[in-house]
Structure 1
Amino acid sequence: MLTRLCLVRHGETAWNTERRLQGHTDIPLNAHGIAQAHATAASLATERFDAAYSSDLARARQTAEAIAGRCLLTPTFDDRLRERHYGAFQSLTYDEARARFPDAYHRFETRDPGFALSEGGESLIQFAERVRATLEAIASRHRGGSVLIVTHGGVLDIVHRLATGMHLQAPRNFGIPNAALNWIAWDGAAWSLISWAEQRHLDQSLDELPNT
């Protein structure tokens, strides 16, 4: 019995356009991001979801509320769906983080799986385990159904790897645009990829994340 999950990256924020690491910093959508959230809501208006979940950060909440309202759902906000905690990198642009913390940035850029970012940051292994456990719990709760999840780019990086078997350290070769649709399935034992980065409903969408 397959459980389908539709995962949506939140709409655009001002920090996305600046290539600034947001992590757990609570940044709202910009005007374009709000328009994207409503476009995504319209694209999903005919889908039947059994439940909706979202990160509790504002950019995800705003996106989820737009979609859930159109789909007649009440989203559950869950801090386990937050972006990776980037520690000392949070609020810096990628270039600033590289210049200020060259050694740490090299380990981040090369996807060292056990490297935990300073000031409360998560390692890739810790982050991936959080994402895996959260998604499996949600899928098990709605076995055989369809679930909407609004989350973040880093979470979706882990999701694609879970569904395809791609190693945590492998450079990214797939897109993660703001407000795109990403569908995966759970059979009770393993994840599989249905479709990825659907964005026909969007006129323009950023994928400012590094290809690492």
Structure 2
Amino acid sequence: MPDKDAGTPRVFLVRHGETEWTISGRYTGRSDIPLTTNGEAQVSSSAAKLVGAGKIINPARIAQLFISPRTRARRTYELLFDEAAQKGLETKYEITEDIREWEYGTYEGLLTAQIRSGRKERGLDTERSWNIWLDGCENGETAAEVSERLDRIIKKIRKFQGPYMYGEKEVDVVLIAHGHILRAFAKRWIGFELGTALPMMLEPGAVGVLSYEHHNVDEPAFLLGLNMG
């Protein structure tokens, strides 16, 4: 059976590898935490399986990369692409604050339980527990502020992918960033408000894929499965 969406541009979401704060579950926004040894191995493993000529992420098909300024994301880029690939991509990547992690403000470095306990002590959340997607972060970003910067990237992506929905030009995109912001990006990609319940997981060093249905830039979608052939 032919693939009715073959050739449709894709957007790859790459979460940086493990850090010490990833292990403990601490909220890591602006804190510039490096990858652990295992975190580097996670990314290298994904690169070996998924990146290269004839593989899911083919550097020759990439038109643009958006990379968070944080060290853990920039190191992930270095591990994901070998020197030859990086040379071909050197004019195609943008290091941008628009894809940095959610600004956690007062909650930076805390655990979820600590955040909820602290808010309760301050008389907040009397009817339900704190939910970042609805409540944002004290002295940090609201969901609306996060959506605004992610929508800027989405607008850029659709502008240059839109004319090539049938593969007339190779215009795949790669985002290398963080757990919360990439899940937020996925929600905005399909037009969901960040407060919409849509449980998602993206492990350190893992890759997610977004695309479009019916070769139509106005029908953004999750790409739940890829044919490895």
Q: TM tier, shorter chain? A: 0.7 to 0.9
Equivalent position of 1:36 in the other structure: 42
Q: Give the root-mean-square deviation of aligned CA atoms.
A: 2.7
**Deviations along 1:56-75, whole A, 9 cap, x unmatched?**
11111110122233633234
Query: How far is the alpha carbon of 1:169 from its aligned partner?
Result: 2.2
Are 2:63 and 1:45 aligned?
no
Q: State yes or no: 1:95 paired with 2:101.
A: no
Gaps of 5+ in 1: 199-212
Unaligned 5+ segments in structure 2 are 1-6, 165-170
Match of 1:161 in 2: 187
**2:221 is the alignment partner of 1:192:** yes
Q: Which has the larger radius of gyration?
A: 2
Alignment-mate amino acid for residue 208 of structure 2: N
CA deviation after TM superposition for structure 1 residue 110, in Å:
6.7
1:1-212 aligned within 5 A: 2-42=8-48, 43-46=50-53, 47=58, 48-69=61-82, 71-72=85-86, 73-74=89-90, 75-102=93-120, 103=124, 108-109=130-131, 111-112=133-134, 115-119=135-139, 121-141=140-160, 143=162, 144=164, 145-185=171-211, 187-195=216-224
Identity fraction in percent: 24
Distance in 1 (alpha carbons) for counterparts of 2:196 and 2:161: 31
After TM superposition, give the deviation of residue 2 of structure 1 in Å.
Answer: 4.4
Matched position secondary structure for 1:111: helix
Q: Which amino acid aligns with 1:194?
A: L
What CA distance in whole angstroms lies between the structure 2 residues aligned with 1:81 and 1:189?
22
Q: Are residues 108 and 140 of structure 1, via their aligned partners in 2, closer, same or farther at CA, if it must alter by over 3 Å?
A: farther
**Mapped contact 1:185–1:191 kept (Cα < 8 A):** yes
Cα shift at 1:35: 0.7
Contact 2:28–2:109 (CA under 8 A) maintained in structure 1: yes
Deviations 1:154-192 (A, max 9, x none): 122222223445442233422221121111125443422
The 8 Å contact of residues 52 and 68 in structure 1, kept in 2 or not, is answered as no
Report how far residue 116 of structure 1 moved: 4.6
What is the TM-score with the length of structure 1 in the denominator?
0.79
Alpha-carbon distance in 1 for matches of 2:30, 2:161: 27
Provide TM-score, normalisation by structure 2.
Answer: 0.74
State the 1:108 CA deviation.
3.7
Q: 1:192 to 1:108 in 2, by over 3 A?
A: same
Contact persistence 1:185–1:194 (CA under 8 A): yes
Check conservation: 1:10, 1:60, Cα contact below 8 A.
Answer: yes
Aligned residues: 195
Structure 1 residue 19: deviation in Å? Answer: 0.5
